Structure 1
Amino acid sequence: MRSDLMSGLRLATPPSLASLAMSAAALVLGLAAAGCSSGTDEPRSARPTFSPPPITATPTPQSADGLALPLEAYFLTPDQNRTVARAQNMLISDCMRRFGFSYPVNASGGSDLSPVKEALRPLFLAESKAARWGYHATPERLAQINKGQETAAPKLSPAAQAVLRGTAKSHGGQDVPKGGCFGHGRDSIEAGAAKVKLPPWMKRADEDKPPAGAAPAMRSARAAPGYLPQSMLNGAFDLALADPRTKQADAGWSACMKQSGYNYASVDAILRDGRWAVSDAPTASEIATAVTDARCRVKVKYGGLMYALQLGYQKTMIDMYADSLNQVKQANEAMVRNATKVLSGNAAD
């Protein structure tokens, strides 16, 4: 079940964008045994409001390549993410071995994808790419996405699952660590990483706990150090999508599309069109639509505008929650430090 990361601030994240880009939460929060929230939108105190950021000139990048956003400083890099993932799996594997079970160290390969870059990627559509692939991913892109979505855990027997998840208190005369071997690996990697203080408006009691009946290894996704920057990343995107200047750009883009016979109200609407997912290969109609879309996006500077707006909204958020984000940085540093020790053989068992 997907958590509503920014209830009260964020709008609905477009499913189309989620399907085109690798889920950032999966990249950053994948090391946490993330639980589910109820998904209800209950009132929260002191919800922030964000004034539209000023933009003096709209940039004109042609792709997400080379672009950066300030929240990137609060995420693990892809290299760090792989380091942490491998070290955690080594700890899990060692723990499972003590109970007589095999757990491959490389069961979680890590990802080359950056959550921030993935938030920017769907905004741009190169005409050359559209003319060949329409809205479909290139083979190289598919390989990149599939690598990031590799299943972390191997197939395990019920007894091994119980030791991994912590539903067994003991096995073979040995006490199973609290949270199982998964919790042991995760908690060892996060040792010394202070709990990030979340803003009061983000707190709700039912989101602080995993689902009823969940394994001890599970916890709320909000307990992971990456939860706050991920929430802000999502929130800044949705604020940019709802900004009046984006609405104006969408209107210009829509008028451009109508000149070629296409009736879509917004870029988001064309990405939501389910026809693009019907076939494994792009159709002639899809390619023609995508080429026109690419040209119209360039005409209204859609990608550059959305990038500039996210830049502005993120800067405001970072200023507002600087103390909490510094805690995130310190937590990331602790995890990487612990993981490096594990991989070098210097960590305590």
Structure 2
Amino acid sequence: MTVKKIALFLAVSAAFMAGCSDPAAHERPDGRAPSRSEPPVRSIPAVQTGQLQISRPLDRYAPDGTTDTQLKRAEAVVVNRCLRDLGYARHPLDEHATAEAEPNVYEFYWFPRADRTGYSAPAPATEETSWDAAAPRTEKDLLAGQVAVHQGHKVPKDGCYGEAGRTLTKDSRPPSRFSEQGITITRVADASPRGVIESYVSVIRQTLVVQIQHDSRIKRVVAQWSSCMRAKGYRYSTPVQAATDKRWQKNNSKGRNKAEIATATADMACKKHVGYLERVVAVESAYEVRYIDQHGEQMEEFLRLRDTWKHNAQQVLR
């Protein structure tokens, strides 16, 4: 088992509807100005659909790619040192690994390869999975703290993962629970700081989904997308309906069929035609800015946690 980037449990799940609830212009479908409850859109960003990430306001509170790589390498250093201190030197973690960016916008899973793989998500990275599979049982026990003593050496509380987590969160108190509007995540004892703030951000974004879904600007662009799809011979009210069509679920074991690929390709073409992703990101960003403004103290604490963990990682890597 590699060090857990997201060592958290979702206690309450929420429907992931980012694919159907996102932006549009500044007007309502009837041409009138948006409701006062709808935060203003400051600008419509240019979205590169060939990539799998785009920066939004909440992202600045989580470690960036450079910091995430530092955390990953520092964890490996601490874990390997812990294992050696226990008399175990086989199968070490890679201390020179690079943290890979993961898709952070629902629609981006499909854009780069829709014309080949339909609505299937990109294959997950195999590096960590293969490392886990090759780890001997003894090592897994030492990493997770499943044994108290090894070769006469006392195993740290929660194992070498726990040791790494404590080292990198030194001088900080990451919350053991984070709740927002009925969605709760719980940080487990041997959790790594990698991915913790990203998890908090993910929860915040899920709680904003309902508001965004009912935004008049989003309803407008979804209607435009649906009209474009209808012109191509497809009858879907929302992008989520297209992506979750039950027919596609039957394709998992036999590969993607021509109908799914054709639908996904038309879907992506219509999203480009109506500027769907640009508007989605713009409206999401407006709601995120408002959330940040309303939760200033909490967001400042996220920054303090991030900076403390970065400092701790840099100390380990010296």
**Cα distance change of structure 1 residues 339 and 252 upon mapping to structure 2, 3 Å threshold:** same
Q: For the residues of structure 1 that align with 2:125 and 2:179, how far apart are their CA atoms?
A: 37
Does the aligned pair in 2 maintain the 1:180–1:217 contact within 8 Å?
yes
**Cα distance change of structure 1 residues 162 and 267 upon mapping to structure 2, 3 Å threshold:** same
Aligned residue among 94, 98, 102 for 2:85: 98
Runs of 5+ in structure 2 lacking a partner?
15-35
Aligned residue among 180, 192, 199 for 2:171: 192
The residue aligned with 2:226 is 254
Superposed, which structure 2 residues align to 1:164-243 within 5 Å? 164-195=143-174, 208=186, 210=188, 217=190, 224-237=196-209, 239-243=211-215
The residue aligned with 1:25 is none
How many pairs are equivalent?
290
1:80 aligns with 2:67: yes
Does the aligned pair in 2 maintain the 1:124–1:303 contact within 8 Å?
no
TM-score by length of 2: 0.73
Q: For the residues of structure 1 that align with 2:203 and 2:73, how far apart are their CA atoms?
A: 25
Dislocated runs of 4+, deviation >6 Å? 197-200
Q: Which moved more, 1:298-307 or 1:78-87?
A: 298-307
TM-score by length of 1: 0.68
Letter in 2 for 1:168: V
Runs of 5+ in structure 1 lacking a partner?
1-28, 41-49, 211-215, 345-349
Does the aligned pair in 2 maintain the 1:240–1:313 contact within 8 Å?
yes
Instruction: For residues 289-329 of structure 1, give each alpha carbon's deviation from its aligned partner in whole angstroms, at most 9, with x where no partner exists.
Output: 23332332234321122111111010011111221221111
RMSD: 3.9
Superposed, which structure 2 residues align to 1:118-133 within 5 Å? 118-119=104-105, 121-122=107-108, 125=111, 130-131=114-115
Does the aligned pair in 1 maintain the 2:118–2:264 contact within 8 Å?
yes
Does the aligned pair in 2 maintain the 1:92–1:103 contact within 8 Å?
no
Q: For the residues of structure 2 that align with 1:130 and 1:201, how far apart are their CA atoms?
A: 34
Q: For the residues of structure 2 that align with 1:307 and 1:39, how far apart are their CA atoms?
A: 23
Identity of aligned residues (%): 21
Letter in 2 for 1:71: L
Q: Which moved more, 1:242-251 or 1:192-201?
A: 192-201
Letter in 1 for 2:99: S
Aligned residue among 250, 262, 276 for 1:302: 276
Instruction: For residues 203-225 of structure 1, give each alpha carbon's deviation from its aligned partner in whole angstroms, at most 9, with x where no partner exists.
Output: 89x96575xxxxx5369x9x944
The residue aligned with 2:25 is none
SS in 2 for 1:253: helix
- Alpha-carbon distance, 1:68 to partner: 2.7
- Alpha-carbon distance, 1:100 to partner: 2.1
The residue aligned with 1:7 is none
